[in-house]
Amino acid sequence: MSLALYRKYRPSVFADVIGQEHVTVPLSNALETGRTHHAYLFSGPRGCGKTSSARIMARSLNCEKGPTPNPCGQCQSCTDLVANGPGSLDVIELDAATHGLVDDARDLRDKAFFAPVHSRYKIYIIDEAHQLGPGAANALLKVVEEPPAHVIFIFATTEPDKLIATIRSRTHHYPFRLVPPGVLALHLEKICDAEGVKVAKGVIPLVVRASAGSVRDALSVLGQLLAGAGKDGVSYEIAIQLLGFTDGALLDDALDTIAARDGATLFKTIDRVIESGHDPRRFTSDLLERLRDLMIVDALKDSTANSILRDLPEDQMERMRNQSNRIGAANLSRAADIAAEGLTQMRGATAPRLILELICGRILLPIGDNGESGMLSRIERLERAENMAPPTSSAAPVRNVEAKEKAASTHSTEAPSSSKVEAVPPTVKAKQSAPSAAVKAHVPGNFDIAALRRAWPDVIEDVKKRRRLTWSLLSASAQVLSVDEDAITIGIINPGAKESFERSESDLILRNAFIDVVGIDRKIAVVVDPSIDTNTPAARETRTSEAPSDPNQLSGAALLMQELGAQVIEGK
Ligand SMILES: [Zn+2]
């Protein structure tokens, strides 16, 4: 393969330009009807056919039997201007990116008035036109404003807005677009056939995705794959390795563990992703794409999904059907939101691995009963538990220190080692590296009753979702009186309500609400306390003061990570 695929398969007529029919059809019509203009602007992303189309336009204009959208291919001009041909004296290509073009532009201005050497038109193709310096642009402007009848300009640029307005306004503007995946895939398949190289199922979609709609990039990648093809052609495995793609197995592992809510294995998988040299951003982007694919699979239960996902191997489709079934539509959608948000955060982030881990952590958290973001309620719960812990907890039991150490080693990028933790003053420590709230919640000690009371309205709200009766018994007439290692004691304003509470086994409801909202598991004791005024200014004060801080702050995220770290350790 001596010639790069992109050059080898460069089109010579508009009919062979792929994915730009919105441009090539009207241009062909203009050529057909003789309504051509003296200046064109071709804009659009790189590698999608602007320069090729400019050359085709020149060839179409200068064919002896033209202007025509179907140049004869026989005449001198056609053979000169065929793709990879010798070129024509009358078609002058200038690249504004190489230098300011000032001299070229002056030269052009002077020479433009001479008639073409042996063609109908003298055609100037000015590539990267947005990089024309002001001097060059002004020199050109005069010709563009009042061109001789034999001169045609074609400006090509990725950034049409940067082309000076006085020139832009004199052009017919044709915006090129990225090529749709389906069109590009067909094109690549044809080229593989033409090259006589067998390509395994799934390879073309990989190439299409890697090129993101640029034909030039796609052909460059494909050329590399075909060059390295063995006697059996290009295998899926080789394609994955060569393209630096996330190994499908890693992605499958990640999705399988998300489906199983298996945090321990998911974080091990992330470790493998990093260890094997994959870029966390790329992995996240692939994860997001896979979640999208799974949503498509979920939406189109039948085999039509594969027609949209473009020819994935059947075993891969089967695996994805399985994953989408197990994860479910709501969780897929939520996970995609989380991954997309994380991907944005990764731009410019110094610790993309940390963000990838946070993404996975968030995806694993269950959706809240009330349909709100599960993460938010979970973080809030952790922060409450954090506030409730006794202020001097550095003398934590050995088990917890070990847990912290393991957590630190599992997430070495963000959790300081426990020796550091011990060295920092307690106030700083609480902000920077709060020990696992979930672990701490089980530490016996003097819980801050004020903090528990602060959480009471949320506990009551949680109770309401569980059982309406229990909620009505508590909502206006109960308060937290005390908490110790064994029990949370609730005072209820009248004996009748206390009796109903006990008879209806509402203590279990309340106990579970405490577990869910503040992460503390205690038996519930109830006493009659007619002195309760649940609506004093002081009571309201404790409810509103020191409201949970913004859950998006790092403290919440760090707590979240530590809880997940604890889950990893416990092998949940
Ligand atoms: Zn011709």
Ligand 1 midpoint to CA 89 (Å): 15
Distance 38 CA to ligand 1 centre (A): 20
Instruction: Please tell me the distance from the alpha carbon of residue 361 to that of residue 380, in angstroms, as a whole number.
Output: 15
Identify whether the C-beta of residue 493 lies closer than 8 Å to the C-beta of residue 443.
Answer: no
Percentage of the chain surpassing pLDDT 90? 27
Q: What angle do CA 12, 13, 18 make, to 5 degrees?
A: 95
Pick the range with the lowest mean pLDDT from 47-56, 153-162, 293-302, 536-545.
536-545
Listed in order, the ranges of the chain carrying CATH 1.10.8.60 are 181-242
pTM, rounded to two decimals: 0.53
Residue 369 has pLDDT above 70, yes or no: no
pLDDT for 278 equals: 80
CA distance 276 to 336: 24
pLDDT at residue number 409:
44
Q: What is the pLDDT of residue 312?
A: 66
pLDDT at position 21 is 95
Distance 70 CA to ligand 1 centre (A): 8
Mean pLDDT in residue range 297-309: 74
Domain with CATH 3.30.300.180 in the chain: 449-558
Judged against a pLDDT cut of 70, whether residue 395 lies above it is answered with no
Q: Residue 313, Cβ neighbours under 10 Å: how many? A: 16
Which fold is adopted by the domain 5-175? Rossmann fold (3.40.50)
Distance, CA 122 to ligand 1 centroid (Å)?
A: 16
Give residue 118 CA to ligand 1 midpoint distance, Å: 13
| Whether pLDDT at 183 is above 60 | yes
* 77 alpha carbon – ligand 1 mean position (Å): 6
Mean pLDDT, to the nearest integer, of 31-57? 93
- Condensed to tens digits (0 to 9), the pLDDT of residues 66-96 reads 899 999 999 999 999 998 889 999 999 988 8
55 C-alpha to center of ligand 1: Å? 13
Asked whether the beta carbons of 184 and 204 are under 8 A apart, the reply is no
Give the pLDDT mean for 360-365.
Answer: 88
What span, in angstroms and rounded, lies between the C-alpha atoms of 540 and 533?
11
Q: Which of 209-218, 277-286, 332-341, 356-365 has the lowest mean pLDDT?
A: 209-218
Cα of 154 from ligand 1 centre, angstroms: 20
- R_g over Cα of the chain: 34
Q: Using CA atoms, how far apart are residues 70 and 490, in angstroms rounded to an integer?
A: 88
Rounded to whole angstroms, the Cα distance separating 544 from 553 reads 19
- Residue 406 pLDDT class (50, 70, 90 cuts): very low
Q: Per mean pLDDT, which of 238-247, 385-394, 522-531 is the most reliable?
A: 522-531
For CATH 3.40.50.300, list the domain ranges present in the chain: 5-175
Exposure on the CB side of residue 426, measured as CA atoms within 13 A: 8
**CA angle in degrees (0–180, nearest 5) for 316-322-327:** 125
Quote the CA–CA distance of 208 and 182 in Å, as a whole number: 9
According to DSSP, the residues that pair with 11 across neighbouring strands are none
- DSSP conformational letter for 436: P
* pLDDT higher than 60, residue 458: yes
- Ligand 1 geometric centre to CA of 71 (Å): 5
Evaluate if residue 435 carries a pLDDT over 80. Answer: no
How far is the CA of 142 from the CAs of 112, 129, 425, in angstroms? 11, 16, 73
Model confidence at 282, pLDDT cuts 50, 70, 90, reads confident
CA of 216 to the centre of ligand 1 (A): 27
- CATH number 1.20.272.10 is the correct assignment for the domain at 253-364: yes
Q: What is the pLDDT of residue 426?
A: 37
Residue 133 has pLDDT above 50, yes or no: yes
pLDDT band at residue 315 under the 50/70/90 scheme: low
Dihedral in degrees, nearest 10, Cα atoms 174, 176, 180, 183: 80
- How many Å apart are CA 521 and CA 513, to the nearest integer? 9
Cα–Cα distance measured from residue 540 to residue 493, given in angstroms and rounded to the nearest whole number: 18
Residue 520 and residue 512: Cα distance in Å, rounded? 9
Q: For all residues of the chain together, what is the average pLDDT?
A: 77
Helix 280-299 / helix 329-346 crossing angle, nearest 10 deg: 160
Give the strand pairing for 172-175 and 122-127.
unpaired
CA 91 to ligand 1 center in whole angstroms:
14
Distance 81 CA to ligand 1 centre (A): 9
Chain length of the chain: 572
> 195 alpha carbon to ligand 1 midpoint, in Å?
28
Lowest-confidence pick of 331-340, 378-387, 505-514: 378-387
Distance CA 287, CA 307 (A): 21
Distance (angstroms) between ligand 1 centre and the Cα of 186 equals 29
Q: Residue 199 carries which DSSP code?
A: B
Predicted confidence at residue 567, as pLDDT, reads 44
The DSSP annotation for 62-97 comes to H-TT-S-SS--S-SHHHHHHSTTS---TTEEEEETT
3-state secondary structure of 499: helix
CA of 86 relative to ligand 1 center, distance in Å? 15
Query: Where is average pLDDT lowest: 301-315, 349-363, 477-491?
Result: 301-315
Domain span(s) for CATH 1.20.272.10 in the chain: 253-364
Higher pLDDT, 17 or 497: 17
CATH node for 181-242: 1.10.8.60
Determine the distance separating the centroid of ligand 1 and the alpha carbon of 62, expressed in angstroms.
7
CA 527 → CA 140, 300, 497, distances in Å? 92, 57, 10
Question: In this structure, are residues 293 and 252 in contact, taking their beta carbons and an 8 Å threshold?
Answer: no
Q: How many whole angstroms from 261 Cα to the centroid of ligand 1?
A: 66
Question: What's the confidence (pLDDT) of residue 416?
Answer: 39
Q: What is the whole-number distance in angstroms between the Cα of residue 28 and the centre of ligand 1?
A: 15
- Asked if residues 71 and 104 have their Cβ atoms less than 8 Å apart, the reply is no
Cα 130 to middle of ligand 1, angstroms: 31
Residue 64 CA to ligand 1 centre (angstroms): 5
Pure H helices in 347-494? 352-364, 374-388, 398-410, 418-423, 426-432, 437-440, 449-466, 468-474
Query: If you measure from the C-alpha of residue 23 to the centroid of ligand 1, how many angstroms do you get, rounded to a whole number?
Result: 22
Output the CA 19–ligand 1 centroid distance in Å.
25
Q: How far is the CA of 82 from the centre of ligand 1 (A)?
A: 10
Give 209 Cα–ligand 1 centroid separation in angstroms: 37
Question: Per-residue pLDDT averaged across 188-217, rounded?
Answer: 88
**Distance from Cα 34 to the centre of ligand 1, integer Å:** 16
> How crowded is residue 84: how many other Cβ atoms within 10 Å of its Cβ?
10
- Angle CA 319–324–329, to nearest 5: 175
Cis peptide before 67 (omega within 30 of 0): yes
Distance (Å) from CA 59 to ligand 1 centroid: 8
CA 281 to chain centre: 8
CA dist 462 and 513 (Å) reads: 6
Degrees to nearest 5, angle at CA 19 with 17 and 20: 70
Token pair 């004199």 is at which residue? 170
Band of residue 16 on the pLDDT scale cut at 50, 70, 90? very high
For ligand 1, the distance from its centroid to the CA atom of residue 85, given in whole angstroms, is 13
**How far does the centroid of ligand 1 lie from the alpha carbon of residue 533, in Å?**
96
**Structure letter (DSSP) for residue 366:** P
Distance, in Å, from the CA atom of 119 to the CA atom of 173, rounded to the nearest integer, reads: 25
Q: Answer whether residue 377 shows pLDDT above 60.
A: no
pLDDT score of 122 more than 90: yes
Query: For residue 532, what pLDDT is reported?
Result: 63
Q: What percent of the chain has pLDDT over 70?
A: 74
The secondary element (H helix, E strand) that includes residue 550 is none
**Top-confidence range, 105-119, 201-215, 276-290:** 276-290
* CA separation, residue 495 to residues 279, 467, 511, 527, 528 (Å): 64, 20, 20, 8, 6
Report CA(21)–ligand 1 centroid distance (Å): 22
CATH superfamily of 449-558: DnaA, N-terminal domain (3.30.300.180)
Give the sign of the dihedral formed by CA 424, CA 426, CA 428, CA 430: positive
pLDDT at position 552: 40
Q: Which of the residue ranges 218-222, 245-249, 271-275, 438-442 has the most confident prediction, judged by mean pLDDT?
A: 218-222
Q: How far apart are CA 52 and CA 355, in angstroms?
A: 42
Task: Encode pLDDT of 514-540 as tens digits.
Answer: 888 777 888 999 988 776 654 444 344
Could you give phi then psi for residue 564, rounded to 5 degrees? -65, -35
Interval between CA 441 and ligand 1 midpoint (Å): 83
